[in-house]
Amino acid sequence: MGRLVELTAVSKVYDGDREHAALDSISIGLEAGQATAVMGPSGSGKSTLLNVIGGLDRPTAGSVVVDGSDLSRLNEAALARFRRTRVGIVFQFFNLLNNLTALDNVMIPAQLAGARAGDARRRADDLLERLEMAGHRDQYPARLSGGQRQRIAIARALINNPTLLLADEPTGALDSHAGEQVMAILADLNRSGQTILLVTHDERLARANASRVIRLVDGAVVTDRHETTRAMVQVQ
């Protein structure tokens, strides 16, 4: 498989503080279809790395190429279109729009990309069905549990068939049962060929679900271990 993501000497510095770089000249590549976990202590640069790859933030130096697109060459509008079509992002705190129903939340990226409302609704319904959330399609996020909200967020991330799914501590705000259900969904997606980059501080989840584990400390890669056998297992 070819490389889907290629980072070359990527650095990220906040407020000119070069002494404490959030990312310190990182060069890594991610294969298509791979499930990769990024681990590290708090403040090690995990989320910054995910943000840079997802086009949510720009590196201070270095290049980031995702699915053939050099993100440093894209303006803000092009970056938005990139996020809309090439990546899906799952956040720790779900980040659903509280004044929209579950169905509307899932449909938005498709509609922003120009899909007709009918097409977007069909795709959203399919995803909600697949994630066992069809019964909650007309409910507002405030009435859903944490696990249910995260499933809606995953459905939203998948609506435009992204080549890369980014998950930033997807189980961090969930109880253990809900967290296992969410990880099972991600594992299932990976088995069907979805490339996933997972940020977590949970050693057990990382080892159980990723075929590759990258460890960061102070913005630098300290270990990058490829599992010999695919370890993504269904936790259920």
Partner 1 sequence: MNPVLRKTLADIRRRKVQTAVVALVVLLSSLTATLALTLLVESDAPFDRAFNRVQGAHLFVAFDTKQVTETQVRATSSLAAVAAAAGPWLLSPASIALPGGRTRVIPVAGRDRAGGAVDRLTLDSGRFVQRLGEVVLSQQLSDETGLAVGDALAPGTDSPLPSLRVVGIATAIGNEAAAWVMPGQLPAVSTAPVPQQYLMGYRLRQASTAAQITAAIDAITQHVPAAAIVDTSNYLDAKLNADRTTAVMIPFLLAFSVFALLASALIIANLVGGAVIAGTREIGIMKSVGFTPAQVVRVFAGQLLIPAVVGCLLGLPAGILLSQPFLSDTAHAFGLPRSFDLAPDVDLLGLAAILLVVIATTVLASLRAGRQSAASAIAAGSAPSSGGGSRLARLTRRLPMPRSLSFGLGESLARPVRSAMTVGAILIGVATVTFALGLHDSLTMVASAVTRDRQVQVQVYRDAVGKSPQAGLSEEQATALIASQPGTARFVAVGHADVNVAGAGHPVAVYAYRGDASWLGYDLIHGRWFSRSGEAVAPTAFFTRTGRHIGDSISASLYGQPITIKLVGEIFDQQADNILLRTGIETLPGRTTVWNYEVQLRPGSDPSTYAAAIESAGPGLSARINRENGVDTAFLLINSVLAGLAFILTLIAASGVFNTVVLNTREKTRDIAILKAIGMTPGQVVAMVLTSMAVLGALGAVAGIPAGVALHHNILIVMGQIATSTGIPDRFFQVFGANLLVLTAAAGIAIAMLGAMLPAQWAARSRVTEVLQTE
Q: How far apart (Å, rounded) are the C-alpha atoms in residues 71 and 54? A: 9
**Closest CB 173 distance from partner 1, rounded Å:** 10
What single DSSP character describes residue 139? S
Close Cβ partners of 79 (under 8 Å, ≥ 6 residues apart): 55, 71
147 belongs to the binding site for partner 1 (CB under 8 A)? no
Window 50-69: residues binding partner 1 (CB under 8 A): 51, 56-57
Q: Is 19 in the site for partner 1 (CB under 8 A)?
A: no
Q: Is the sign of the CA dihedral 172, 178, 183, 189 positive or negative?
A: negative
Contact characters 167-206, partner 1, x per CB under 8 A: ----------------------------------------
Strand spans (E) along the chain: 3-12, 23-31, 35-39, 61-66, 69-70, 87-90, 164-168, 195-199, 212-217, 220-226
Tell me the per-residue interface mask from 100 to 129 with partner 1, x by CB under 8 A, - otherwise. Answer: xx--x---xx-xxx---x------------
User: Residues in the site for partner 1, rule: CB under 8 A?
Assistant: 47, 51, 56-57, 76-77, 80-81, 83-85, 89, 91, 93, 95-101, 104, 108-109, 111-113, 117, 140-143, 156-157, 160
